[in-house]
Each structure stands twice: as C-alpha cells, then as structure tokens.
Amino acid sequence: MFTKILIANRGEIACRVILTARKMGIKTVAVYSEADRDARHVALADESVLIGPAPSRDSYLVVDKIIAACKATGAQAVHPGYGFLSENAGFAKRVEEEGIVFIGPKHYSIAAMGDKIESKKLAGIAGVNCIPGVNDAIDTAEEAVEIAKSIGYPVMIKASAGGGGKGLRVAFNDKEAFEGFTSCKNEARNSFGDDRVFIEKFVEEPRHIEIQLIGDSQGNVVYLNERECSIQRRHQKVIEEAPSPFISDATRKAMGEQAVALAKAVKYQSAGTVEFVVGKDQSFYFLEMNTRLQVEHPVTECITGLDLVELMIRVAAGEPLPLTQADVKRDGWAMECRINAEDPFRNFLPSTGRLVKFQPPKESMFASDVSQWHGVRVDTGVQDGGEIPMYYDSMIAKLIVHGKDRLEAISMMREALNGFVIRGVSSNIPFQAALLAHPKFVAGDFNTGFIAENYGKGFRAEDVPHADVEFLVALAAFVNRRYLSRSKAITGQLEGHELRIGDDFVVVTIGQQGNGTSYPVHFAEFNDKTRSGRMIVGTNSYEIHSESKFGQVRMMGTCNGVHFCAQVERGTPKKPLAIRVIHNGTMLDVMVLLPRAAALHALMPYKAPPDMSRYVLSPMPGLLVEVAVQPGQKVVAGERVAVIEAMKMENVLFATADGVVGKVLANKGESLAVDQPIVEFA
C-alpha cells in the first residue's frame, strides 16, 4: 500500500479523497492555485504545493507541474478526482512513465473509453446499441449545420473530451447548431485543452441512468447497481438518486451485465461509470463511459455500504476486489442534491464571492466512514468565510441523504435543505426545494426534459408555493416577541416608562412594491422562560416551542407538536428592519409592527428603482471576453451584444429590444461586477 498520494484536483473531491486516505493511514499532498491558497483541501492535506495562477489552464491542467509536485514530495501515486486531468489518457500515461501510480484506469482504457468518439466506435463494434450520429470530429460550424440537417433536428453537439455539462449544446435549428458548435469548441478548449466536437441525434424524453463499475488488475469487474440522473438543467445533473424509481430488476441486470462486458473488453480497472439513455419501454442505448469517479458516487456508497475511493486506491495498489457480484447489496434509498453557487431567480447565473455564513445541516453520515448509514452527509470543499472564485465550477457542496425508501429520502432531503445556511453568495437551494416538492418528481414520473418542461420560462419565487404561509408569519412574530422580552428585561429603565409589550401585532410582508399583505397576530400565550408561545394568525392557531438561541440563523423546534427546521434572521442588507423567514424554499421578508405603526406604514410612498432599460448589464461577476457591438451600430432584439465567461461557462448577452448603441462602457478582458453596465443604448 502507498504511504503518500497526491490529489491532482481541488475543492470537494480533493477533500473527499483526503478523508479516505487519512482513514487508510496514507499521507496526502494537495496542489493549489493562487486562488486556492486558503482553500479547505489545502488545510486538510498533510502537505501542499503551489502550482500556478488561478486559471486552470495555468495550474490544475499543467501536467509538468503535477509531476514535479509528485517528485518534490515523494508521492507514490496520483488521484485525479473528476474533471481537469481525470480522463486525460496522456496524463495517465505520463504519470506511469514517471514511475508514479495513477489511481484510475490504465491509459489505454481511458483512450478507448474516455474519448466519446472512440468509445462509441468501440461500443458499436462490440454490438452495443448506439444513438445515431456522426462520431468523427467536425471541423467547421458550417459542416456542423449540414450534418445536423442530415441527422434531423434536434441534435446534440458534444465536445469529445467534455464532461459535467461543459462543451455540450442541444440545437433545434440551423442557427442554434452554428452557434452551439462555436461555443462547444471554445468551452472544450478552455476546460479540457481538446476542442474536438461531434454530433449525435438527441433522443427526446429520455432517462439518464448510469451503471457504476469497479474493476481490478486481475480482470475482475462488478457493477454496483445504477444511479438515476435524469433531473438535469442544461445537461448538468441537479439531483441524483440510487436506485432508479423507473427500471425493473431485469433491466438493471441487463444494463449491468452489458456495462461489465464493455469494461472487460478494454481491460478496465478502477472505478468507472457506463451511462445509458433509457427509453419509455426500458430499452437502453450506450451513451458514454466516464473513466473516473463520478460527482454522484456517494449515493452508490450509501446503498452498497462501500467506500469507492478506498476501492480505487486498493485496486491501484494491485489488490484484488474484496467482493463478487453476489456480494453487492442494495440497501434503502439515497439522494444527492448539488448545492451550487448560482442564482436560480436570475436564470441560474453564477454567483461568486465570500461565504459570509456557511453552516451545513448536522451530519450523521460522513465521507469515508462506512460504519454510519441512513442519515445526512455533506461533501464540500469550502468553509465558513471561504471564497467562491470565478475560475472554477459553481459547486459549493453535495448534500446526501439515505433513507429506508424513496419517500423518506425526499423528506430527509427537504429537512436538510431547510437547515443549510449559506450567505454571501446565492445558491440553488430554493430550486432544489421546489423540485423535491413537485408532484411528478415525488411520483418518480420524470425524464431529462423535466426541468425544461416545468421551468422553461425560468424559475420564479411563485414556483415555490408554501403550504402554510401563516406558519412563516407566526415564526416571525414569535422571534420578534422573544427579542422584545429580552429588551423588557434590561435593567435601568426609567420608572413608569418601562417597555410594555402588548399581545396584538400586525405582520406586514415586504413585497416588490413595499406594501405587501398584512396578517393580524394575537398572542394567546407566551412564556419566555420555556421559549414557547401560542399565536392566532387569522383563524389558525400556532403553538411554537424552540430552544434556538438569539442570533442563530437556523431555528429548530416544534409547531403544534410537529418538528420543524427553518431559517430566521433579523435584518437584511437592503431591509435592516425586516425579519426574514426561509422554509421549504420559500423566503418571506416581513416587518412585525404594532397595529398603529402598521396603519402608518400602509401610507408610506413607494420609491421606484431607477430605469436601467437603456443599458445591457452584467448579470453576474465574470470576465468580459467579447463585445460584439460598436457605438452607432443599429441592433435588433435577439442580436448578440457581449459574452461573459464565469465558472468555465460562456454566457452570451443578447439585446432585448431594437436600438442604436450609444456607448460601450466596458472593455474586452475586463472583470465585471454584478449589474455593471456594459453597453448603453442611445
């Protein structure tokens, strides 16, 4: 067994590998860019090596720097994680040639299966059903359009070295094929250093189901059940679960055996995943093979009781697999939500900056610990006060739950999301909450088009309807009452003028116009010593008890005897007098007022924000890589204006109306802030 390994990655996956290595008594070496000096994976590792500037092409993608770090620290093996160099056959070969063990498949397996074009050719030769398409690299956008027309729209344009939704577009017409090809090549070149692109038919209403494999150097390969990954947005997985609520035992067995046969054909060893597109009738087609550990591997760990990272390390050290196919179990139901730094209410644009608060829900399962199952686990590479840089992907954490069945897993996940406190950057938690509550998701009735079909016009606050808004009102009133009780207890108050607290309040929601709905609240009972109270909101009674302390954002307790977990805080950056309540994805800002104050508040005038319709604003922090217009140019609605790059994704800004460009206010190469003007129309 190795005594020291280097992790050629960053963030959550680097931390994940370090935890298993520590359990196995193996020393670890972290590599980091200048943007990651204070990152969590650097602090967790036994040693760390600086490998270059922030952009990944100058640091995490530079093979020579990784090799040099191994030699300088005496690391005997390299774990590549996922992304970056994990599926780069040249990197794996170079590592082996330098006398270092690659904790992953052999370079020839990566070359055969990690390349999407070559893997489809090999799968076809092996008799595996493949989706119609052109598997050779395409040179020009014009050629891409002609091929797309010959296959028939819709088509999927994919980077050969792509992964994680990078370098992938679906085109429904010639214009989208032309632009999608260009964007795919650019993203692939920037993210993977390989700009080859191919096209295949896009199968409508498909399910994305993948089989987890593990193989050893003795030729043994077993499959570790499947993962359902059909809940995707722009081809990026959002929620993963295991097992799938869709396929039968017979289909699971057939898919697993086909995946194993494919792996054995390329002498595969280490962890890998064979991805399939599955039709309504449970027919399945080979999509691709990921020759690495997957982001969603924890759900497989939960239902099988295995540590996949440990198995990868042991196989790389030459040990045989410790289990046969008959030993693979399937216990309970696991789900994973990817918690990303993006704003779901602004078309999921990236959100970068400092994590002012980062308080994950309480964990009862832990990465690398196979002794604890059925609970909550958080895999993350960030910490309270850490930075979400714009140079890498948007993942903050992975939230994993394991229950006895699917409904319990959904319930556990909703509770865990309620307790996940993130401030300083926006996150997709409200969107995750909405997905988990959607009747079709709960019923298991979905495919890869689920998000596009149900949230095709974007995600709005009203897409997260709360079952009981008056409960949120009662929570705000209860918290306000506790603060008033503390104020009443302050000594030294002028005799005869002490603070007196009545039983009647009005909770006013702060809407977009600043004059939201009013809810009269009457306190029938309140006891500050027992931290409990009973309120009448409208015609409903809410008896709340909570031991949560002042200043804590996460609030836990009971309401009418039923446990709840919510987030409640006083004051927001733009509304210092408000109380914010967040529960089940719904956020409510309110002011708790005396009846007279509420009556006066209703008379307050509303100050409208300035009209910015003449400007094209940067919707997120990022790098301005292109300005496509000039002063004096006539622009029509839908015309390309600028391109911003953030978190390895290109975001194109289009004109929303016809007009003439007055001024260009930002230059190519400039780092932009949120809402910074780029172009002003005359």
Catalytic residue among 241, 288, 296, 342: 288
Distance CA 252, CA 254 (A): 6
| Residue burial 240-259, b: 16+ Cβ < 10 Å; e: rest | bbbbbebbeeebbeebbebb
Query: What crossing angle do the helices spanning 89-97 and 63-73 adopt, rounded to 10°?
Result: 30
Decide if 547 is catalytic: no
**Beta strands 586-593 and 649-654: pairing type?**
unpaired
Cα–Cα distance for residue pair 450/430, rounded to 1 Å? 17
- The rounded distance, in Å, linking the Cα atoms of 186 and 175 is 17
Q: At what angle do helices 308-316 and 11-23 cross, to 10 degrees?
A: 70
Name the 3-class secondary structure at 259.
helix
Cis peptide before 55 (omega within 30 of 0): no
**CA-to-CA distance for 167 and 191, rounded, in angstroms?**
8
Q: Which of 265, 254, 256 is nearest to 223 (CA)?
A: 256
Distance CA 639, CA 656 (A): 8
Q: H or E segment at 212?
A: strand 207-215
Per-position DSSP letters for 10-50, written without gaps between them: -HHHHHHHHHHHHHTT-EEEEEE-GGGTT-HHHHHSSEEEE
Tokens encoding 201: 């038919």
* CA–CA distance, 570 with 565 (Å, rounded to integer): 17
Q: How far apart, in whole angstroms, are the C-alpha atoms of residue 123 and residue 131?
A: 11
Measured CA to CA, the distance from residue 506 to residue 593 in angstroms comes to 5
Contacts of 106 (CB under 8 A, 6+ apart): 92, 96, 267, 269
Are the C-beta atoms of residues 7 and 31 closer than 8 Å to each other?
yes
Kindly calculate the radius of gyration of the chain based on its CA atoms and give it in whole angstroms.
27
Phi/psi for 578 (5° steps) reads -85, 160
The single-letter DSSP state of residue 243 is S
CB 533 within 8 A of CB 546: no
Q: Could you tell me the CA-to-CA distances from 17 to 23, 367, 396 in Å, in that order? A: 10, 9, 17
Q: Residue by residue, what is the 3-state secondary structure of 62-110?
A: CHHHHHHHHHHHCCCEEECCCCCCCCCHHHHHHHHHCCCEECCCCHHHH
Q: Give residue 565's region: left, alpha or beta (phi > 0; psi -120 to 50).
A: beta
Instruction: Please classify residue 625 by burial: count the beta carbons closer than 10 Å to its beta carbon, then call 0-12 exposed, 13-18 middle and 19+ buried.
Output: middle
- Hey, what are 631's tokens? 């002063």
Residue spans of alpha helices (H) in 305-445 = 308-316, 406-418, 429-437, 439-443
Catalytic residue annotation:
288
